[in-house]
Amino acid sequence: MFFNTRTALCALLGLAAVSRTAVAFNALSHTNVVNYWGQNSVSATGGNESSLATYCQGDTIDVFAIAFISQIVNGEPILNLSDHCGNTFANSSLLDCPQVGEDIKTCQANGKALVISIGGASGSYSIDTASAGTAFAEQVWDTFLGGSSSTRPFGDAVLDGVDLDLEAGTNEGYIAFIQTLRTKFTASSKSYYITAAPQCPYPDLATSAALDAAWFDLVWVQFYNNYCGVNTYGTSNFNFDQWDTWASTVSINKDVRVLLGVPGGPGAAGSGVVSASQLNTVLAGVKSYASFGGVMMWDAGIAAQSGLAASAASYLHSLPSGGSGGGSSPSAQPSAQPSPTTTTTTKSASKTTAPSTMTSPAQASPTPTQGGGGGSESCSAAAWNSATAYNGGAVVSYNGHTYTAQWWTQGNVPTSGAPWTDNGACSGTGSTPTPSVGCAGAPAWSSGTAYSSGAKVTYNGNLYTAQWWTQGDTPGTNSVWVQGAACTSSDSEVNTSKSTTKTTKTSKSTTKTSKSAVKTSKAPTKKARNGKRRLYSPEKFESWRL
């Protein structure tokens, strides 16, 4: 019988199309692998991030978050793609990246989903009003999604959604932003997605308003550069279970997927880097949570260089179906000493190169004080002491109120807010001690020094604790620093350098009250963040977001 090669070829192409459809992105999957792309973080370790299309080959990566829309200027989005794209449209600040647009279409043809990520370590993108959120949604829709504009960075390529990698502020305007986009999504035949990348401390200050009030499809939590990082798996600090509870009891979308966010390999974060075998152990433990949706990595270049993305994808695909509920956040071991790192609910996860100068926490490993549950009307609870380390749930009395620790903490004055919850006024014999300040052992803050999570510094007469990796973020003006007690005149604060003193002009309010450290988190900051995804700068290449 005559063999019709054209017929055979058509048949093969048909099978290929069916196969491709079968592996198309599924938001409800428990095995999705997400990579951020665009900031070329791997350059810090001698590598170079390849084109987007390069990473779309094969079945390793399911979702790409293109990083970042780093600023909102006059209501318009400003895109930063490191050295992947530098040309702009005439009379516009928007990048003109036709090749990236072609790569996006190639990736989508390969069954991948691609979202534009808003945020990052450096930038100004806070939205605090509903009207601003609605207006910005219109801009993003026309510029990157299903709308139309003469200045679309990726041409006629239509992205599959938006990712929120917010690092500062309360961003309540993003609720209206998402709701406006959702209205447009429902009127379109195309599937769109909204995702977020909060820090693991729960709740995450920068995204909690939107997370609790708007519909999200996937939330990839950054389990690194924080006390609850993936490297703490096996201790009571690791809190995937809290995020699973959020998914089932708080999230509007009860089918939302929670992904485990990890560094893609060495150099991707200040802490939380794990090997392939270590990651597999964690994945085996969390895969049975009903909300579990896979793994996210910062970022594509580093994850490819280390092989972690391919290893994780292979391992996830080999597992029995997950999401059966219950989970296994390994028997928490309260006796295990948590790393001395206080943390605020402000978001920040790090995708970054390891800083050249790191300052370790200025404190010895404390013996945590185990506390009980909620507050009490009696001040019989032990008086708060700045030198004592408290586990989550610990109850103390301070200034006529009782407070409950939300997570491990040391040196954070209860009245300063997170990580303490005010249970209200109390009565009884409880006392308010004169804080044991301990400023003498802490160096004066320096804008040129990189500080790791838990590092303590003195600034403007107060003690501050870093909540994650940071450099150049002035204490009192950025949520990465939590204000502690005031230093005494005998402490080392008197040695504060003149250069440090000059920078105090940024915020007079930081010397007045410990509450200012919390209030300033509502204001947008230009370098808001732990050492995560610091944006590309030709002068100083620091590409780090997740």
Rounded distance between C-alpha atoms, residue 35 and residue 55, angstroms: 9
As beta bridge partners, residue 378 has: 427
The residues, any chain, with a CB within 8 Å of residue 534's CB and separated by 6 or more, are: 120, 121, 122, 352, 527, 542, 543, 544
Phi, psi of 392 (to 5 degrees): -55, 135
Number of H helices, E strands in the chain: 12, 20
Both structure tokens of 322:
């997950």
Query: Do the Cβ atoms of 484 and 465 come closer than 8 Å?
Result: yes
Q: Which two tokens mark 437?
A: 């300040």
Positions annotated as catalytic residues are 167
The Cα 81–Cα 474 span in angstroms is 26
Q: Which DSSP state fits 101?
A: H
How does 335-346 read in b/e, with b if 16+ C-beta sit within 10 Å?
eeebbbbbbbbb
Per the document, the length of the chain is 546
Structure tokens of 440?
Answer: 């003498």
Residue reference for tokens 């972690």: 308
**Which segments of 115-172 does DSSP mark as H helices, in order?**
130-144
